[in-house]
Chains A and B, each alone.
Chain A
Amino acid sequence: MSEVLTFEDVWLEYGEKIVLERVTLGIAERSFVSIVGPSGAGKSSFLRLALGQEAPSRGRILLDGKPLPPECGPDRGVVFQRYSVFPHLTALRNVMFARECAGARFTARLFGGARRRAIEEATAMLAEVGLGDSLHAYPAQLSGGMQQRLAIAQALIARPRVLLLDEPFGALDPGIRQDMHRLILRLWEEHALTVLMVTHDITEAFKLGTRVLAFDKRRIDPHAPHRFGATAVYDLPLKTKLPLETPEVSISGITIDRISNNYQG
Chain B
Amino acid sequence: MRWVNVRPNPRSAILLGALPLLIALVVYCFASAARHAANPADKVLPTPAAMMDAMHGLLVDTDPLSGQLIFWADTAASLERLGLGLGICALSALLVGMVLGALPAARATFGALVTTVAVIPPIALLPILFIVFGLGETAKVALIVIGVTPFLIRDLADHVAALPREQIIKAQTLGASSWQLALRVALPQALPRLIAGLRLSLGPAWVYLISAEAIASDIGLGYRIFLVRRYLSMDIIIPYVAWISLLAIVMDVALLQLSRRAFAWAHQDHR
Chain A residues with a Cβ closer than 8 Å to the other chain, count: 35
Cross-chain contact of A80 among B166, B172, B177, B265 (Cβ < 8 A): B166
Task: Give Cα distance in the complex from A102 to B188, angstroms.
Answer: 19
**Does chain B have a CB within 8 A of A57?**
no
**Does chain B have a CB within 8 A of A98?**
yes
**Does chain B have a CB within 8 A of A260?**
no
Task: Give Cα distance in the complex from A34 to B184, angstroms.
Answer: 33
Number of residue pairs spanning A and B whose beta carbons lie under 8 angstroms apart: 87
**Does chain B have a CB within 8 A of A14?**
no
Name the segment of A59-67, A81-89, A190-198 touching the other chain: A81-89
Task: Give Cα distance in the complex from A140 to B270, angstroms.
Answer: 6
Q: Could you tell me if A73 and B175 are in contact, using CB atoms closer than 8 angstroms? A: yes
Nearest Cβ on chain A to B108's Cβ, whole angstroms: 21
Contact (A78, B265) CB under 8 Å given A98-B174, A108-B184: no
Nearest Cβ on chain A to B268's Cβ, whole angstroms: 4
Chain B residues, Cβ within 8 Å of A151: 170
In A101-143, the 8 Å CB interface with B consists of 101-102, 105-108, 138, 140-141
Q: Could you tell me if B167 and A97 are in contact, using CB atoms closer than 8 angstroms? A: no
Contact (A158, B173) CB under 8 Å given A88-B265, A140-B271: yes
Q: Could you tell me if A73 and B263 are in contact, using CB atoms closer than 8 angstroms? A: no
Nearest Cβ on chain B to A11's Cβ, whole angstroms: 22
Task: Give Cα distance in the complex from A107 to B182, angstroms.
Answer: 11
Chain A residues, Cβ within 8 Å of B266: 87-88
Q: Could you tell me if B175 and A138 are in contact, using CB atoms closer than 8 angstroms? A: no
Task: Give Cα distance in the complex from A88 to B270, angstroms.
Answer: 13
**Does chain A have a CB within 8 A of B171?**
yes
Chain A residues, Cβ within 8 Å of B179: 106
Main SS class of interface, A: loop
Task: Give Cα distance in the complex from A70 to B263, angstroms.
Answer: 35
Main SS class of interface, B: helix
Task: Give Cα distance in the complex from A51 to B179, angstroms.
Answer: 21
Chain B residues, Cβ within 8 Å of A140: 265, 268-271
Q: Could you tell me if B173 and A80 are in contact, using CB atoms closer than 8 angstroms? A: no
Contact flags B228-265 to A (C-beta < 8 A → 1, else 0): 00000000000000000000000000000000000111
Chain B residues, Cβ within 8 Å of A100: 184
Q: Could you tell me if A73 and B173 are in contact, using CB atoms closer than 8 angstroms? A: yes
Cross-chain contact of A108 among B165, B176, B189, B271 (Cβ < 8 A): B176
**Does chain B have a CB within 8 A of A155?**
yes
Q: Could you tell me if B265 and A101 are in contact, using CB atoms closer than 8 angstroms? A: no
Chain A residues, Cβ within 8 Å of B62: none
Q: Could you tell me if A101 and B169 are in contact, using CB atoms closer than 8 angstroms? A: no
A-B contact pairs, 20 of them (CB 8 A): A51-B173, A72-B173, A78-B169, A78-B170, A83-B165, A83-B167, A84-B170, A87-B266, A88-B189, A98-B175, A101-B175, A101-B177, A105-B180, A108-B183, A140-B269, A140-B270, A140-B271, A151-B170, A154-B170, A155-B173
The interface of chain B, by Cβ under 8 A from chain A, is: 164-167, 169-177, 179-180, 183-185, 188-189, 263-266, 268-271
Besides A88-B265, A105-B180, 5 other CB < 8 A contacts?
Answer: A71-B172, A77-B173, A82-B166, A97-B174, A108-B180
